[in-house]
Amino acid sequence: MPQNYKIGVGNLNIRKHNKTTENITLGSLSMSKQAKTLTATELRRVLDYVATRKHSARNRAMLLITHWAGLRVGEVASLRVSDVVDAEGKIYNEIILSAEQTKGNHARTVFVSEKLRKELELYINSPASHTPSSKLFYSQKSASDGFTANSLAQFFHFLYKKAGIHGASSHSGRRTFITNLANKGVGVRVIMGLSGHRQLSSVQCYIDCNDDLKRRAVELV
């Protein structure tokens, strides 16, 4: 079956693109299955799998920058070394994304936690060749141009699948990041600032209302 196909039944259209995302349109109603949020145990399982494969330093850093900073896959693919590393080889505490690098064409600041900074330092100090103008995350096909948003989305799709995490996609890290912040009591306005969302409704649809969050809620009564 070709990669792109369309099945029409009355007003029901099912489209699948690049085998990674699925949208169902019924009349004017469009629905897309939300990416799975990962537990700490599931993230550890993926990291353990990454450690056994080639390019483990790169793959670990790419995975954690989505889970610990909430970057979209397109934002990760767009990063240059100079966006993240200063002239002395140190990781910035803040990554400035230009409007061209973001989904909504609004420049924003990504705050880098101490634990993420250490992970990025390990990657930058790995044997891979890094120049200020090159993509932060090289690909096997191109060390200078690196991943595209589409090729990186496919990479994450198969990474999660091979690690045995079903229902996860390139958006899982971002959704897990936002949900974890909400679980820890971070205010929605702060979450909006960290995720780059400009609408409250956009943040709310990301937050996974899981059993842990419900248990904490009832304890507040």
Indicate whether 57 and 131 sit together in one domain: yes
Reduced to 3 states (helix: H, G, I; strand: E, B; else coil), residue 179 is helix
Distance CA 166, CA 94 (A): 32
Q: SS3 for 156?
A: helix
Task: Identify whether residues 71 and 146 lie together within a single domain.
Answer: yes
Whether residues 90 and 46 share a domain: the answer is yes
52 shares its domain with 23: no
DSSP one-letter string for 16-58: EETTTEEEEEETTEEEEPPPPPPPHHHHHHHHHHHHTSTTHHH
DSSP 8-state secondary structure symbol assigned to residue 5? E
pLDDT of residue 169: 95
Residues 28 and 44 in one domain: no
**190 is a domain residue:** no
Do 23 and 98 sit in the same domain of this protein?
no
Laid out side by side, the sheet with 12-17 consists of 5-9, 12-17, 21-26, 29-32
Residue 129 lies in a domain: yes
186 in a domain, yes or no? Answer: no
For the cut 50, the answer to whether the pLDDT of residue 26 exceeds it is no
Q: Are residues 148 and 62 part of one domain? A: yes
Q: Which residue has the tokens 């990962």?
A: 38
Note whether 58 and 108 are same-domain residues: yes
Asked if the structure places residue 204 within a domain, the reply is: no
* pLDDT tens per residue, range 51-98: 999 999 999 999 999 999 999 999 999 999 999 999 998 999 999 998
**If you average pLDDT over every residue of the chain, what do you get?**
80
pLDDT at 24 over 60: no
Give the pLDDT score at 210.
65
Residues 4, 85 share a domain: no
Domain span at 167: 40-172
Please tell me the total count of domains within the chain.
2
Find out whether 183 and 206 touch, Cβ atoms under 8 Å.
no
Report CA Rg, the chain. Answer: 18
Q: Tell me: do 53 and 87 sit in the same domain.
A: yes
CA 199 to chain centre: 19
Report the distance separating Cα 178 and Cα 167, nearest Å: 17
119 plus 156 within the same structural domain: yes
State whether 83 and 23 are in the same domain.
Answer: no
Which range among 14-23, 29-38, 180-189 shows the weakest confidence by mean pLDDT? 14-23
